Amino acid sequence: MQYTTLGRTGLRVSVAGLGCGGNSRLGLGSGKSDADAIALVRAAFDLGVTFFDTAEVYGTEEVLGRALAGIPRDHVVISSKSRILDDGGTPLPSAAVLANLEKSLRKLAVDYIDVFHLHAVQDAHYAYARDELVPMLLRQKEKGTIRHLGITESPPRDPDQLMLSHALGDPCWEVVMLAYHMMNQGPRRTVFPLTMARGVGTLLMFVVRNIFSRPALLAQTLKDLADEGLVPREIADADEPLRFLMHDGGASSLTDAAYRFARYEPGAQVILFGTGDQEHLRTNVASLLKPPLPRADVEKLHALFANLRDVGLVFPDFARAPFSIATPYVERLEHR
């Protein structure tokens, strides 16, 4: 494993971080058992993964806590989150966010959370989060229940990273979580220059999601983009559109390309990967430890896709059936 320092938190963390949310939820999302999820977390730890990201809404805090029990607390870095809106979309009072933090501590069975985030904050709610919730969180930091404060974006609702652009002007955030992938390169302009200048740690999500784990979805997305004149027609018409990345000395698969592309972006620190599959765990960690993709391939990805926005950020099933207010909160948060 390779390790890095997470911004000005000073925390040493593995560059590969196990995401306990997304559609995999450690495998619980596809019907696997708690025992399978615990085995997956332990296998990740055995491979050197020390960064684990969960959240109140994922339903994986308890199983993560059980999996990490017995490992000395300072050998792992735990990241969790509280939502800031209720099921009807009304901002939660700080007492409710504090109650969520206390619930997370109980479920994880820990005395403190290394990085505690406000979850999927939209730009319209940012000022509320900073002015009403951060003072309470800073008091918790003084008490020691939180070590560092973070904020995560809601990518499909904020494809231009407006919330993070504002948040990075405020000194309270030590860590941010953002969506970044081969066809969502906006943060190279909007986020990474600010995090690097200000010593803010970065956690990258959505690096593969479904656009690079389902070839048919990638092919359809490229056809749609070509129809809009946003990518060259010959790329969209190719049998395997990103085949140019796969060659001797290049990537071995689409997911290999996606994780390596993100890993070596200047400003990228922890690459989160979500999986419920031990084989994917091993190949993803191996990808993240390989050298960068060849420079010519990265330049081609920049030339082809740098100007795209709002691509590959929704789960495909939700793209066809937009959620309503009746959709369970956890799904709305995750899918949009």
104, 152, 185, 195: residue in contact with ligand NAP (rule CB under 6 A):
152
As measured in angstroms, the least distance from the Cβ of 175 to ligand NAP is 11
Residue placing its CB nearer to ligand NAP in the complex, 267 or 274: 274
Tokens of 320: 């066809």
141, 241, 334, 336: residue in contact with ligand NAP (rule CB under 6 A):
334
As measured in angstroms, the least distance from the Cβ of 7 to ligand NAP is 17
Q: How many residues bind ligand NAP (CB under 6 A)?
A: 29
Distance CA 335, CA 317 (A): 9
Given CA atoms 218, 219, 225, 230 in this order, what sign does their dihedral have? Answer: positive
Residue placing its CB nearer to ligand NAP in the complex, 128 or 232: 128
From 89, 144, 154, select the one nearest 116 (Cα to Cα).
Answer: 144
Beta strand 201-205 pairing with 270-274: parallel
Here's the x/- map for ligand NAP, 169-188, by CB under 6 A: it reads as --------x-----------
Do residues 104 and 56 lie in contact, with contact meaning Cβ atoms separated by under 8 Å? yes
Cα 157 → chain centroid: 15
Between the two ends of the chain, the Cα-to-Cα distance in Å is 32
According to DSSP, the residues that pair with 146 across neighbouring strands are 113
Binding region for ligand NAP (CB under 6 A) out of 39-47, 67-75, 199-207, 226-234: 199-207
As measured in angstroms, the least distance from the Cβ of 212 to ligand NAP is 8
Strand ranges (E), 103-221: 113-121, 146-153, 175-179, 201-205
As measured in angstroms, the least distance from the Cβ of 252 to ligand NAP is 10
Distance CA 64, CA 328 (A): 22
Is 251 a binder of ligand NAP (CB under 6 A)? no
- Look-up of token digits 């390790």: 3
DSSP state of 307: T
Is 241 a binder of ligand NAP (CB under 6 A)? no
Tokens of 195: 């995090």
The type of residue at 28 is L
40, 57, 200, 208: residue in contact with ligand NAP (rule CB under 6 A):
208
Is 154 a binder of ligand NAP (CB under 6 A)? yes
The type of residue at 34 is D
Residue placing its CB nearer to ligand NAP in the complex, 142 or 216: 216
Do residues 305 and 70 lie in contact, with contact meaning Cβ atoms separated by under 8 Å? no
4, 23, 94, 122: residue in contact with ligand NAP (rule CB under 6 A):
23
As measured in angstroms, the least distance from the Cβ of 214 to ligand NAP is 8
According to DSSP, the residues that pair with 53 across neighbouring strands are 19, 79
Residue placing its CB nearer to ligand NAP in the complex, 24 or 221: 24
What are the φ and ψ backbone dihedral angles of 17, each rounded to 5 degrees? -115, 130
Is 207 a binder of ligand NAP (CB under 6 A)? yes
41, 101, 105, 120: residue in contact with ligand NAP (rule CB under 6 A):
120
Cβ within 8 Å of residue 297, ≥6 positions away: 244, 245, 250, 251, 257
Binding region for ligand NAP (CB under 6 A) out of 13-21, 85-93, 159-167, 234-242: 13-21
80, 213, 221, 269: residue in contact with ligand NAP (rule CB under 6 A):
213
Residue placing its CB nearer to ligand NAP in the complex, 31 or 229: 31
Distance CA 274, CA 293 (A): 21
Q: How many CA atoms lie within 13 A of 173 on its CB side?
A: 31
Of residues 275 through 294, those in contact with ligand NAP by CB under 6 A are 275-277, 280, 283-284
Residue placing its CB nearer to ligand NAP in the complex, 22 or 65: 22
Residues that bind ligand NAP (CB under 6 A): 19-24, 53, 119-120, 152, 154, 177, 205-209, 213, 255, 272-277, 280, 283-284, 334
